[in-house]
Amino acid sequence: MPTAPAIKLRVFSLNCWGIRYFSQHCSERYEMIGQLLKEEEHDLVLLQEVWSENDYLFLKKTLAHSHPYTHYFKSGVIGSGLAVFSKHKILDTFLYRYSINGYPYMAHHGDWFGGKAVGMVILDICDLTIHAYVTHLHAEYCREKDAYLPHRVVQAWELLHFVRHTSSGADLVILGGDLNMHPRDLGTRLLLAYTGLRDSYAEAEKFEGCEEGITLIAENPFINKKELEPFENGIRIDYILFKDLSRVSVKCESLSTTTGSVPGKPFPYSDHEALSAVLLLRSEEGGVARPQRCSAEPDPGLVDMVNEARTEVKVGLHSAERMRGTVARMGMMGLALLLVELVIALVPWLAHSTEHAFPRASFYLLGALSFATLLLTALLYILYSTQVKTLQGAEDQMRLAVTGLQERLQKHSQTQPVEQGRVQGEPTSTPANSP
Catalytic machinery residues: 272
Spatial distance between the Cα atoms of 48 and 220, rounded to a whole number of angstroms? 18
Contact indicator for 216, 234 with CB cutoff of 8 Å:
yes
- 3-state SS of the chain? CCECCCEEEEEEEEECCCCCCCCCCHHHHHHHHHHHHHHHCCCEEEEECCCCHHHHHHHHHHCCCCCCEEEEECCECCCCCEEEEECCCEEEEEEEECCCCCCCCCCCCCCCCECCEEEEEEEEECCEEEEEEEEECCCCCCCCCCCCHHHHHHHHHHHHHHHHHHCCCCCEEEEEEECCCCCCCHHHHHHHHHHCCEEHHHHCCCEECCHHHCCEECCCCCCCHHHHCCCCCEECCEEEEEEECCCEEEEEEEEEECCCCCCCCCCCCCCCCCEEEEEEEEEECCCCCCCCHHHCCCCHHHHHHHHHHHHHHHHHHHHHHHHHHHHHHHHHHHHHHHHHHHHHHHHHHHCCCCCCCCCHHHHHHHHHHHHHHHHHHHHHHHHHHHHHHHHHHHHHHHHHHHHHHHHHHHHHHHHHHHHHHHHHHCCCCCCCCCC
What distance lies between CA 318 and its chain's CA centroid? 23
